[in-house]
Amino acid sequence: MTDRHPRRNSSADGTTFDRWNRRPRRIILTPWRRCVDAPRAPLTPVLLSLRELLLSAGARLMGAARISMPVVMQMEQAGRSNPGSQPPQLQDAAVNPNNLAATAIYDLQSPEVRSLAAKLRASCPDDRLYLQAAHAHLSDTNMLTVYSIDDEQPASVTLRENKGACAQRMAALEALARAAGIATRVRALWLAKAFWFGRLPLLRWVLPDAVLYTWPQFRLGGNWVDFDELYAPMEALVARASGRFSNSGESIFSAVRDQPVDFLGKSSRCGCPEFDLSPIVASDAGLFDTREQLFASQNGRPGLFGRALFNLLYGGRPIRRTEE
């Protein structure tokens, strides 16, 4: 009988050999198909090195953080304490003119900011109630939450377009506060990239080890109050919370109304470490009077390629939500 495959020989156990290179290939026969079971060669050290080089280059193009993280802290470590990683809270620091000043981001003289501030202030003479009303106006139910990395967008643009990312809406809230005579400042937090995997799955392999995030404070009753305690102290929030914030469903901006979004370890000090998100804070760069000062100090802007890639995949689209 003529061999239909002249370049191959077969052994008794079903293994075939290519006559040119004698590489064994196991043939598996099934009632439906014949398939070849060829074992995959493991990655060589050269390929592994090349892979690491490409990932590192991708992170730099996306705009790598100034800090270095040998091991990225995962979300499931949130129960572990993170002592000594944060500077003093400086809750009693005095207000200075920069905490109330208008800037390019806090464009207090714009019609959008002035009219909304006047409207809210007329019905909310109390500072905390005024901020809560402003927050509700900017929340997910009233404003479209979209992906954006333009953290220096003026507050008036966010109000006029009635959409924005969490950081843009926080900036708008700060502008509304300053327009009503409530001092603000902002903290620079570097969050581990694992915190963003649920929101940015397509960028998982190119995100830098840590991503810059801004966290406002407001002067209420003679004290500086963090954004996460705008509605209630952390003790009250953890007492009624059903689960830890996962950054996969409700946006960070809106979640502070009824969830402990605790980047500063307050819940652990309340005896509820299961709500503590401070382990994903790679670094706390401290407090700044304005966002402009913060951005000038912290090199957290994405590179040209990173900005283009982000805008191509996510820019301007509604944020990704999954059930928590």
Listed by start position, the domains of the chain span 8-37, 45-69+77-313
Residue-level pLDDT at 301: 78
The pLDDT tens digits for 23-78 are 444 433 333 333 333 344 454 555 555 555 555 555 554 554 444 333 333 333 33
Residue-level pLDDT at 235: 95
The torsion angles phi and psi of 62, rounded to 5 degrees, stand at -75, -15
Q: Is the pLDDT of residue 266 over 60?
A: yes
**Which residues sit opposite 34 in a β-bridge?**
29
Q: Classify burial at 152, counting beta carbons within 10 Å of its beta carbon; exposed 0-12, middle 13-18, buried 19 or more.
A: middle
Q: Where are the strands (E) in the chain, listed by range?
A: 8-10, 15-18, 24-29, 34-37, 144-145, 163-164, 184-192, 210-220, 223-226, 281-288
Specify the pTM.
Answer: 0.74
Give the DSSP per-residue string, 143-182.
SEEB----TT--HHHHHHHTEE-HHHHHHHHHHHHHHTT-
Which amino acid makes up residue 275?
A: F
| Strands 184-192 and 281-288, bridge-based pairing | antiparallel
H-state helical runs in 228-303:
234-240, 252-255, 266-269, 291-297
Decide which of 284 and 300 is more confident. Answer: 284
The pLDDT tens digits for 145-198 are 999 999 999 999 999 999 999 999 999 999 999 999 999 999 999 999 999 999
Decide which of 9 and 246 is more confident. Answer: 246
Within a 10 A sphere around the Cβ of 263, how many other Cβ atoms?
A: 24
Contact 166, 145 (CB under 8 A): yes
Split at pLDDT 50, 70, 90, the class of 290 is: very high
Among 119, 159, 124, smallest CA distance to 143 is for 159
Q: Is the pLDDT of residue 322 over 80?
A: no
Decide which of 230 and 69 is more confident. Answer: 230
Residue-level pLDDT at 243: 83
Tokens of 31: 């009632």
Q: Is the pLDDT of residue 313 over 60?
A: yes
* Gap between the Cα atoms of 206 and 230, Å rounded: 34
Tokens of 94: 């005095």
